[in-house]
Structure 1
Amino acid sequence: MQAMEILEALVGFPSVVGTPNAGIVAWIRDYLQNHGIDVTILPGPEGDRSNLFATIGPRDVPGYILSGHMDVVPAAESGWTSDPFRLRAEAGRLYGRGATDMKGFLAACLAAAPGLAQAPLRRPIHFAFSYDEEAGCRGVPHMIARLPELCKTPLGAVIGEPSGMRAIRAHKGKAAARLTVNGRSGHSSRPDQGLNAIHAIAGVLAQTVTEADRLARGPFEHVFEPPYSSLQIGTLRGGQAVNIIPDSCEAEFEARAISGVDPVGLLAPVRAAAEALTEHGFKVEWQELSAYPALSLDADAPLATLFADLTGCAPLAAVSYGTEAGLFQRAGIDAIICGPGDIGRAHKPDEFICADELFACQAVIEALGARCSA
C-alpha cells in the first residue's frame, strides 16, 4: 500500500484521545504481520487502550525507534468543510483529523515497512506507536518501561511530530494539574454560615501569578521562546448564582519548564497554597493531569549528526511544543524530533498534510534503513 492509502485507513479510525483504540491497533498489527513483521501489543492499565511495538531486523543489537502516537484530538470544532474522519484529497493536500498530528508519520513508517522487511538490516528499526499522547503523554511511559524485554537499548528514538522534516533537538517539559476546593453553600445574605470556595481559591490564584512573575525573571535558556519556565492558570470554574455561596471551585494549572527544571516542581508552591486551605475547613483535591520532562540533545550527539545527514539540513535548536521525546531521553535513549507536516496545521479544522511531505518522510525512513543495512 502507498502512504496515501495507509493514511486514508488510519484517519478513518476516530481514535480520539481518552477513548478505546482497539480498531486502529488491530489494523496496524494485521498490516505489519502480513509483511512478516514481529508485533507486540502492550495493553495499558486503562484496559481499553494499547501501545504497539514492532521490530524489523535483528532484536539482539541496538537500533532505532520510530515513535508516534495513534490518538488524535477531538474534531468537534466548527469550520470543517468535510468529514474529519474521512480523508479528503484536494490539490495535493490530504485533509483529515490527525493527518498532520500525527498519522501522516505513522503512514510513512508503515509505507516503508515492506521494503525494510526485505532489506538486510544489520541494526533493527522499531516502531513504537502509543496512545493518549494528546492527554499529556500518558500511554508511552508504559511502553518505555517494557523496552528492556522488547529490544536492546536503542541508539536513538525519532519522534515523528510535525517538524517539516527538519530535526529538532530540544523542547520544554510540561506538567498540568487540577485543583478542586470544596466549601459550604448557603444564602449569600449569611456569608458567616458558609465557606466560599471561590474566595478561598483566590489566594491560590494570586500565589500562581506571583510564581509566574518570578519565573519570568529567569533562569533563562535562550533557544526557547520565551526563554524561561512559565506557569499559568488555564481554567477556572465555580459558583451557581450570584446569591448563593459557592461551595465548590475548580482550577487547572500548567507549568512549562526549560531544560534541567522539573515541571512538577514548578507547581509545588501552588499545591502548597492549596493544601493550606484545609486549615480553614475546606476540602482540597489536587490531581496531576500530565507530566513529561524537557528534551535537550547536544548538537554534536550522534543522533543529531545522523539526522542532519539524512535530512540535508542542520537540526533546529528548539521548539515550543512538547512531545514524548523527553521521556525516551529520561530512560537513557537519545531522542530527536523529525516528522512530516507543520505543527501550525494541527488541532484546527481542515487539518491537512501534503502528499509530497508524506513521500519525503518515507524517503528519510528508507534512507535510515539503508544506513542500518550498511
Structure 2
Amino acid sequence: MAEFDILEQLVSFSSVVGQPNADIVHWIADYARSHGAEVTTALGPEGDRSNLFVTIGPRDISGVILSGHMDVVPAGESDWASGPFSIRADGDRLYGRGTSDMKGFLACALAALPDFTKMPLKRPVHLAFSYDEEAGCKGVPHLIKLIPTLCALPDMCIVGEPSGLRAIRAHKGKAAARITVKGRSGHSSRPDQGLNAIHAMIEILASAVNAASALTQGPFDSNFEPPYSSLQVGKISGGQAVNIIPDLCVADIEARAIAGVSPASLIEPLRWASEALRVHGFETTFDMLSEYPALSLAVDAPLTTLMHELTGIEPLAAVSYGTEAGLYQAAGIDSIICGPGDIARAHKANEFITRDELSACRSMLVNLGKRLSA
C-alpha cells in the first residue's frame, strides 16, 4: 500500500488519547504480519490500550527504532471543514486529525515496511508505536522496559514527530503534578469554623510563582527558547459559591526543564509546601501526572551524522516542546527527532500534511534501510 492509502486507514481510527486503541493496533499488527514482520502487542496496565513493537531483520543485532505514537488529541474544534477522522484531499494537502501529529510518520514507516522485508538487512529495523503520548508519554515507558526481552538493545531511535523532515537533537523535559487541598466547609459568615482550601492553596501558588521567577535567572542553555527551565500553574479549580467556605481546591502545575535538570526536581518544593499545610488541619495530596526527561544528542554523534546524510539538512539544535525521545535516550538508546509535517499544524482544526512530505519521508526511510543493508 502507498503511504497515502495507509494514512487514510490510520486517520479513520479515532484513537484519541486516553481511550481504548484496539482497532488501530489490530489493523497495524495484521498489516505488518501480512508482510512477514515479527509483531509484539503489549497491553498496558490500563487494560484497554496497547503498544506495538514490530521487527524486520535479525533480532540479535543492535538496530534502529522508528518510533511514533498512535494516539491523537481530541478533535472537538468547531471549525473543521470536514470530518476530522476521514481524509479530505485538497490538491497536495491531506486534511485530518493526526495527519501531521503523527500518523503521517506511522504511514511512511508502514509503507516502507515491505521494502525493508525485501532488503538484506544486516541490522534490524524496529517499529515502536505507543499509546497516550499526548497525555505526557504515558504508554511508551512500558514498551521501553519490554524491548530488552524482544531484541538486542537498539543503538539508535528516530522519533518521527513533525519536524519538516529536519532532524532535531534536543528538547526540554517535562513533569506535571496535581495538588489537592481539602479543608472544611461552612458558612462564609463564620470563617473561624471552617478551613478555606483556596486560601491555603494560595500559599502553594505563591511558592510556584516565586520558583518560576527564580528559574529565569538560570541555569541557561542557549539552544532553547526560552533558554532556561520554566514552571507554571496551568489549571486551578475550587469552591461552590461565594457564601460557602471552599473545602476543596485543585491545581495542576507543570515544569519544563533544560537538559541536565530534572523536571521533577523543579516541582518537588511544591510537594513540601502542600505537606506543610497539614499542620493547620488541611488534607493534601500530590500526584505526579506525567514525567519525561530532556533529550540531548551530541552534535558529533553517529545518529546526528546519519540524519544529516539522509535528509541533506543540518540538524536543528533544539526545540522547547517534548517527545518520547528523551525516554529512549535515558534507556541507553541514542535518539533524535525527525518526521514529516509541521508541528505548527498540530492540535488545531484542519490539521494537514502534504503528499510531497509523505513521499520524502518514505524515501528517507527506504534509504535508511539501504544503509542498514550495506
What's the TM-score once normalised by structure 2's chain length? 0.99
How far apart, in 2, do the equivalents of 1:289 and 1:38 lie?
33
Q: Is the 8 A contact 2:61 2:152 kept in 1?
A: yes
1:227 is matched with 227
1:130 is matched with 130
Encode CA deviations 1:205-259: one digit per residue, 9 max, x unaligned.
0000000000100000000000000000000111111111111011000000001
In structure 1, give the amino acid aligned to 2:192.
D
1:11 is matched with 11
In structure 2, give the amino acid aligned to 1:209.
V
> Displacement of 1:315 after TM fit?
0.5
1:94 is matched with 94
> Do structure 1's residue 22 and structure 2's residue 22 form an aligned pair?
yes
Question: Helix, strand or coil for the counterpart of 1:208?
Answer: helix
Q: Is the 8 A contact 2:37 2:54 kept in 1?
A: yes
1:334 is matched with 334
1:56 is matched with 56
Q: Mapping of 1:12-161 within 5 angstroms? A: 12-161=12-161
How far apart, in 2, do the equivalents of 1:74 and 1:277 lie?
37
**Aligned-residue CA RMSD in angstroms?**
0.6
> Displacement of 1:118 after TM fit?
0.8
> Do structure 1's residue 250 and structure 2's residue 250 form an aligned pair?
yes
In structure 1, give the amino acid aligned to 2:145.
A
Q: Is the 8 A contact 2:155 2:332 kept in 1?
A: no
> Displacement of 1:320 after TM fit?
1.2
> Displacement of 1:285 after TM fit?
1.2
How far apart, in 1, do the equivalents of 2:88 and 2:82 lie?
8
How far apart, in 1, do the equivalents of 2:147 and 2:29 lie?
18
How far apart, in 2, do the equivalents of 1:47 and 1:248 lie?
31
> Displacement of 1:155 after TM fit?
2.1
- For structure 1, list consecutive stretches of 5 or more residues without a partner in the other structure: none
> Displacement of 1:81 after TM fit?
1.1
Which segment is superposed worse, 199-208 or 147-156? Answer: 147-156
2:269 is matched with 269
How far apart, in 2, do the equivalents of 1:34 and 1:147 lie?
22
How far apart, in 1, do the equivalents of 2:282 and 2:83 lie?
47
Question: Helix, strand or coil for the counterpart of 2:349?
Answer: coil
How far apart, in 1, do the equivalents of 2:111 and 2:217 lie?
48
How far apart, in 2, do the equivalents of 1:12 and 1:368 lie?
28
1:185 is matched with 185
Question: Helix, strand or coil for the counterpart of 2:256?
Answer: strand
- For structure 2, list consecutive stretches of 5 or more residues without a partner in the other structure: none
> Do structure 1's residue 218 and structure 2's residue 204 form an aligned pair?
no
Question: Helix, strand or coil for the counterpart of 2:97?
Answer: coil
How far apart, in 2, do the equivalents of 1:8 and 1:154 lie?
30
Encode CA deviations 1:155-175: one digit per residue, 9 max, x unaligned.
200000000000000000000
Encode CA deviations 1:67-115: one digit per residue, 9 max, x unaligned.
0000000011221111100111111111111010000000000011111
How far apart, in 1, do the equivalents of 2:340 and 2:37 lie?
24
Question: Helix, strand or coil for the counterpart of 1:102?
Answer: helix
1:201 is matched with 201
In structure 2, give the amino acid aligned to 1:97.
R
User: Equivalent pairs: percent with the same residue?
Assistant: 66
1:280 is matched with 280
Question: Helix, strand or coil for the counterpart of 1:219?
Answer: coil
Q: Mapping of 1:305-344 within 5 angstroms? A: 305-344=305-344
1:163 is matched with 163
Encode CA deviations 1:169-206: one digit per residue, 9 max, x unaligned.
00000000011111111110010111000000001000
Count residues with an aligned counterpart.
Answer: 374
In structure 2, give the amino acid aligned to 1:94.
L
Question: Helix, strand or coil for the counterpart of 1:234?
Answer: strand
